[in-house]
Structure 1
Amino acid sequence: MIFSGGVVSAVRALGGMPCPEFLIVDLSDSDDPRADMQSLADVCEPGTVVLALGTLNDVTLYRDLLHAGVHDYLVKPLTAEMLRDAIRTAEEALAYEEEVEDTSPKNDTRQLVCLGVRGGIGTSTMVANIAWMMADQGKKTALLDLDLFFGTSAMQFDLEPGRGLSDALDNPRRVDGLFLERAVVKPHDKLSILGCEAPIGGLSDPAEGALEQLVDALGENFDCVVVDVPRQMLGTHVDVLRSATDIVLLTDYSLTAARDCIRLLAHIKQIAPQADIYVAAGKVGMVPNEVSEQDFENSIERPVDAKIPFDIKTMMTATQAGEVVVANAPGAKLSQAYLDLLRKVTSDDSIGKEKTSWFGKLFSR
């Protein structure tokens, strides 16, 4: 991509787009190259290779630019060979940084993305319960609700979501620990919810790559990140799946859901082949199944990993108390279904089981 203008135009352009891996900027018209390069550094991501061009042949300026993070500074006029050699050297530096990054220890944050194959089958409720259970296990957990206008994650805990998500999407590179302390709401000392209730039509669509950057930023600050993704968002924002370690599809036993489940499974396999996929059936028993469980599993060519029953009485009691089901009624069948799903996702059967000593068992009799 080529933009007219010098460093000021570069700063303006980069403020509203994903940062490139390799950037050539012309400082010829700059009155203060050092200050302008600092402005550019503020909008560039770490790892971006910057090649600067200019007319001032000054060793001190050259050193200052290198200190500011510029890969190289070339004095004009340039020959094609000079520019070609500089670009080749910069590309080699970029390849080396990527190699070092690939061999570095991987982030062990669990990033769980939850998708409802159809609307109204309890996806947001499932997400809130899973996030609460993770936090209750002592894991520092973030719940990211990407329904920008109608999200209910905070509401399920009787809280207002604030503007945290809309602010984060405006500039995901600025998301850090200090930002999150101000932006999230916390129903539990280990659970932080990032969401918003933006005015309908009052929030622009996130830039390409913004969601992936945001999820990655959350992963740097939390042990677990649980993401509630409206299914219509996948049409334009497949990037939200790329960082996922686990993906849960919540479905029902309808013909439409079977079709869309097949499509989503194929889509996820292509976009996020690294993720482990789980299929859960929601609100089981609310209405007769359009498709039998066996026929449904045959059509999607995989078993249903968890069955979440429809229990309106338990749900209503928890809602009136401003709590999620697993906190309000941990012994209910609905809570146990959420717990079984979480155990499968984490491969940890000890979750939810109280650790009682031999003396405790003796005195409890």
Structure 2
Amino acid sequence: MTPANALALARGAAIPPIDADRTALLAFVADEESEAAIQAGLADTMAGAQIRRGTARTAARFLANEATPRVLLVDISGIEDPISALNELAAVCTPDVRVLVVGDRSEVSFYRELIRDLGVDEYIYKPLTRSNVSALFGPLVVPSTEKTVQRGSQIIVVCGARGGCGATTLAVHLALQLEATKGHIALLDLHLRGGTTAMMLATKVGNGLRVALEEPERVDPLFVDRMAATVQGRLRLIAAEEPFEAQPEPSPEGVMHLLDILRQRFSHVVVDLPNPPSPYERQVLAAARIPIVVFGPDLAGVRDAEATRKLITSVSPNSQPILVLNRLGAPGGMKLPLIIEGLGRRPDVIVPDLPRHLPRAANLGQASGAASASLRKALAPLTREIFGMRTDTSARPSILRWLLAR
């Protein structure tokens, strides 16, 4: 049996029962960012896992004298001949191992060679995110985990822990930054009364959203196209400005029908979600692939951020919410060490206070993201965390990255 054939056998092999002498998951990664993404994306399975620093060649040397794990994750970035390195790895592994690979090459032909010829179970192109690690590696690490198969684009929910923490501002500028990559982006504002996305983007909206949520039988793709307001380029806003005395009554069927249409017509759907969410809004949380919790540098914000995180995980147990601390350094706000102590962990993304950019832009109905380098820099970690893409929009996104993000 050749090394390549030994690795190929792993592709269709069932994961054997847990053995006391076998590590459930052993990972060798070359950088700290990838390690953090793997830990976050596979948080539910990390109790029986080991992560070491290194590449596929490091793994081959280590496993030459150690038992093969049930699942092996290796990094091939920076290796001149990755195929040879994987063959060397196969020679020291038992055939029933599942092999997951991360690397720095994005060619579709390379991906096919790994999957079809070598029998690698899955490959992800760097930079990794918790989302693609959870979606692509998660079912292979724990096959029994039940996950809802989502077809179409991914839904990103931005939820503020408290009012005034800046969740809508971040949702708007995240959508703008995504549109800069030439994607088809939908920004859905579910604040039917008192929402501010249309005002921030100087865009007029009608009553189509309320109709769509209350009377789904009237809604089809043409209806959605007509009610979606063009903001710029390929960014569309779906929002409402209902009077305060109005009593909208969205139906569960209405919100899911609208999401289904949006996911088929846009590459990404960013949802600005009220908190606490109503029963129909909880359906949006359950359908979200990437939930984001935004909170401010105050005691109540820290408390409610943790409460919101627990709510999201109760609605969607497989979700790993991204905690975004907004306005760090604001006058009178808590310092970062106290916030970390209150949360019991470091926030995933930290956005500094930008008092000279955001308030003025919001009051004038301008998109400050295009003009503020500080804001783009602050949002860059969030963009990378969600989509694994860099903020250099001049670089054309690879086909492989687009396939893996779906």
Range class of TM-score, shorter chain: 0.5 to 0.7
Instruction: Detail structure 1 runs of 4+ shifted over 4 Å in the superposition.
Output: 102-106
Matched residue type, 1:334: L
Counterpart of 1:354 (choices 374, 394, 403) is 394
- Check conservation: 2:193, 2:240, Cα contact below 8 A: yes
Identity %: 25
Paired position in structure 2 for 1:136: 180
- Check conservation: 2:255, 2:280, Cα contact below 8 A: no
Paired position in structure 1 for 2:366: 323
**Secondary structure, in 3 states, of the residue corresponding to 1:215?**
helix
List per-residue Cα deviations over 1:115-169 (Å, max 9, x = no partner). Answer: 1111112111111100111111111111000111111112112111222211211
- Rate the CA distance shift 1:194–1:257 in 2: closer, same or farther, 3 A: same
Alpha-carbon distance, 1:114 to partner: 0.4
**Cα separation, 2, equivalents of 1:120 and 1:320:** 15
- Check conservation: 1:286, 1:310, Cα contact below 8 A: yes
Paired position in structure 2 for 1:300: 343
Please give the root-mean-square deviation of Cα atoms over the aligned residues, in Å. 2.5
**Secondary structure, in 3 states, of the residue corresponding to 2:192?**
coil
Q: Which runs of 5+ in 2 are unaligned?
A: 1-145, 397-406
- Check conservation: 2:313, 2:320, Cα contact below 8 A: no
Matched residue type, 2:391: I
**Cα separation, 2, equivalents of 1:242 and 1:262:** 18
- Rate the CA distance shift 1:305–1:104 in 2: closer, same or farther, 3 A: closer
Count of aligned pairs = 251
**Cα separation, 2, equivalents of 1:104 and 1:144:** 22
**Cα separation, 1, equivalents of 2:351 and 2:233:** 27
Alpha-carbon distance, 1:310 to partner: 2.0
Alpha-carbon distance, 1:235 to partner: 6.3
**Secondary structure, in 3 states, of the residue corresponding to 1:232?**
coil
Q: Is residue 234 of structure 2 the alignment partner of residue 190 of structure 1?
A: yes
Q: Is residue 197 of structure 2 the alignment partner of residue 153 of structure 1?
A: yes
Matched residue type, 2:201: F
Paired position in structure 2 for 1:344: 385
Q: Which runs of 5+ in 1 are unaligned?
A: 1-101, 357-365
**Secondary structure, in 3 states, of the residue corresponding to 1:179?**
helix
List per-residue Cα deviations over 1:271-317 (Å, max 9, x = no partner). Answer: 11233311111122222334x42342343333212222222222255
- Check conservation: 2:153, 2:263, Cα contact below 8 A: yes
- Rate the CA distance shift 1:114–1:165 in 2: closer, same or farther, 3 A: same
Paired position in structure 2 for 1:222: 266
Counterpart of 1:206 (choices 245, 250, 260) is 250
**Secondary structure, in 3 states, of the residue corresponding to 2:309?**
helix
Q: Is residue 296 of structure 2 the alignment partner of residue 256 of structure 1?
A: no
**Secondary structure, in 3 states, of the residue corresponding to 1:299?**
helix
5 Å matches for 1:1-365?
106-234=150-278, 237-290=281-334, 292-319=335-362, 322-329=365-372, 331=373, 333-348=374-389, 350-355=390-395
In the superposition, the TM-score normalised over structure 2's length comes to 0.57
In the superposition, the TM-score normalised over structure 1's length comes to 0.63
- Check conservation: 2:189, 2:239, Cα contact below 8 A: yes
- Check conservation: 1:151, 1:196, Cα contact below 8 A: yes
Paired position in structure 1 for 2:106: none
- Rate the CA distance shift 1:180–1:278 in 2: closer, same or farther, 3 A: same
Alpha-carbon distance, 1:104 to partner: 11
Paired position in structure 2 for 1:8: none
Alpha-carbon distance, 1:248 to partner: 0.7
- Rate the CA distance shift 1:119–1:190 in 2: closer, same or farther, 3 A: same
Matched residue type, 1:289: G
Alpha-carbon distance, 1:106 to partner: 4.4
Alpha-carbon distance, 1:318 to partner: 3.0
Alpha-carbon distance, 1:339 to partner: 2.5
